[in-house]
Structure 1
Amino acid sequence: MLWNSLAALALVAPSHALIRFGCSQLVVDRLDPLVNPGLTPSPHLHQIIGGNSFTPSMTPVEHDLAKLSNCTTCQPSEDFSNYWTASLYFRARNGTFKRVPQRGNAGFEGQKGGMTVYYMQNQLADYAQKAKVKAFQPGFRMLIGNPTANTRQEAEKYQQLTYTCLQNPGTRFPETKAFPTKPCPAGIMVNLRFPTCWDGKNLDSPDHISHMSYPASGVFESQGPCPDSHPVRMPQVMYEVIFETQVFNDTSLWPEDGSQPFVWSFGDGTGYGNHGDYVFGWKDDALQKIMDEECYVNCTSMKTQSMEKMNSCSVPNKVHEDIGDNDWIASIPGQPMMRLHAADGSI
Structure 2
Amino acid sequence: MKYSQKALALVALAAQTDAALRFGCSTVTIQRLDPVVEPGNSPSAHLHQVVGGNAFAPEMKGDIGQQGTCTSCVFSEDFSNYWTAVLFFKHENGTYKRVPIMANDALPAGIQGGMTIYYTQQDFSSNGKQFIRAFPPGFRMTVGSPTAGKDGMTKHKGLRFTCLDNKSTRFPEIDDFPKKPCKGGIMTEHHFPACWNGKDLDSPDHQSHMYDTQPTGFGAGAACPASHPVRMPQLAYETLWDTTQFNNMWPKDGSNPFVFSFGNQSGHAYGTHADYMFGWKGDSLQRAMNSSCMFNACENGRPLLSQSVAQMNACKAKEVVKENTDGWLKELPGKSVFA
TM-score, shorter chain, exceeding 0.5: yes
Q: Name the CA distance, whole Å, in 2 between partners of 1:19 and 1:319.
A: 32
Contact kept, 8 Å, 1:127 with 1:296, in 2: the verdict is no
Which whole-Å deviations, capped at 9, do the CAs of 1:138-163 have from their partners, x for residues lacking one?
00000000111132x23210011000
- Give the corresponding residue for 2:176: 178
- Give the corresponding residue for 1:45: 47
Residues 98-117 of structure 1 mapped to structure 2, 5 A cutoff: 98-108=97-107, 109-117=109-117
| Residue type of the alignment partner of 2:58 | P
- Give the corresponding residue for 1:344: none
Q: Name the CA distance, whole Å, in 2 between partners of 1:199 and 1:208.
A: 13
Contact kept, 8 Å, 1:53 with 1:69, in 2: the verdict is yes
Contact kept, 8 Å, 2:106 with 2:168, in 1: the verdict is no
Structure 2 unmatched runs, 5+: 1-15
- Give the corresponding residue for 1:255: 251
- Give the corresponding residue for 2:236: 238
- Give the corresponding residue for 2:35: 33
Q: Name the CA distance, whole Å, in 2 between partners of 1:270 and 1:78.
A: 37
CA displacement at 1:294 relative to structure 2: 1.1
SS class of match (2:57): coil
- Give the corresponding residue for 1:3: none
- Give the corresponding residue for 1:314: 316
Q: Name the CA distance, whole Å, in 1 between partners of 2:63 and 2:127.
A: 33
Contact kept, 8 Å, 2:142 with 2:274, in 1: the verdict is yes
Q: Name the CA distance, whole Å, in 1 between partners of 2:171 and 2:123.
A: 15
| Residue type of the alignment partner of 2:256 | Q
1:302 aligns with one of 304, 312, 328: 304
CA displacement at 1:37 relative to structure 2: 0.5
Distance 1:291-1:29 versus aligned 2 partners, 3 A rule: same
Q: Percent of pairs identical after alignment?
A: 50
- Give the corresponding residue for 2:167: 169
Residues 269-280 of structure 1 mapped to structure 2, 5 A cutoff: 269-280=267-278
Distance 1:131-1:97 versus aligned 2 partners, 3 A rule: same
Which whole-Å deviations, capped at 9, do the CAs of 1:189-238 have from their partners, x for residues lacking one?
101110000000101101100000012x8567234011110000000001
| Residue type of the alignment partner of 1:105 | N
| Residue type of the alignment partner of 1:254 | W
2:198 aligns with one of 200, 205, 213: 200
2:146 paired with 1:147: yes
- Give the corresponding residue for 2:93: 94
Residues 113-128 of structure 1 mapped to structure 2, 5 A cutoff: 113-124=113-124, 126=125
Q: Name the CA distance, whole Å, in 2 between partners of 1:258 and 1:294.
A: 48
2:265 paired with 1:266: no
Contact kept, 8 Å, 2:144 with 2:152, in 1: the verdict is no
Distance 1:281-1:287 versus aligned 2 partners, 3 A rule: same
- Give the corresponding residue for 2:10: none
- Give the corresponding residue for 2:26: 24
Cα RMSD for the two superposed structures = 1.7
| Residue type of the alignment partner of 1:186 | G
The count of residues paired between Structure 1 and Structure 2 equals 316
Contact kept, 8 Å, 1:150 with 1:270, in 2: the verdict is no
Q: Name the CA distance, whole Å, in 1 between partners of 2:127 and 2:207.
A: 29
- Give the corresponding residue for 2:5: none
Q: Name the CA distance, whole Å, in 2 between partners of 1:190 and 1:334.
A: 22
SS class of match (2:18): coil
| Residue type of the alignment partner of 1:264 | F
Contact kept, 8 Å, 2:134 with 2:286, in 1: the verdict is yes
SS class of match (2:328): coil
Q: Name the CA distance, whole Å, in 2 between partners of 1:81 and 1:265.
A: 23
Give TM-score scaled by structure 1 length: 0.87
Distance 1:132-1:37 versus aligned 2 partners, 3 A rule: same
2:135 paired with 1:136: yes
Q: Name the CA distance, whole Å, in 1 between partners of 2:273 and 2:187.
A: 13
Contact kept, 8 Å, 2:104 with 2:168, in 1: the verdict is no
CA displacement at 1:177 relative to structure 2: 1.2
Distance 1:199-1:214 versus aligned 2 partners, 3 A rule: same
Distance 1:50-1:218 versus aligned 2 partners, 3 A rule: closer
SS class of match (1:49): strand
Q: Name the CA distance, whole Å, in 2 between partners of 1:304 and 1:222.
A: 28
Structure 1 unmatched runs, 5+: 1-13, 340-347
Distance 1:27-1:263 versus aligned 2 partners, 3 A rule: same
Give TM-score scaled by structure 2 length: 0.89
4+ residue runs of structure 1 moved beyond 3 angstroms?
127-131, 217-220, 336-339
| Residue type of the alignment partner of 2:212 | Y
CA displacement at 1:130 relative to structure 2: 4.0
Contact kept, 8 Å, 1:121 with 1:130, in 2: the verdict is no
SS class of match (1:156): helix
Q: Name the CA distance, whole Å, in 2 between partners of 1:49 and 1:246.
A: 23
| Residue type of the alignment partner of 2:276 | Y
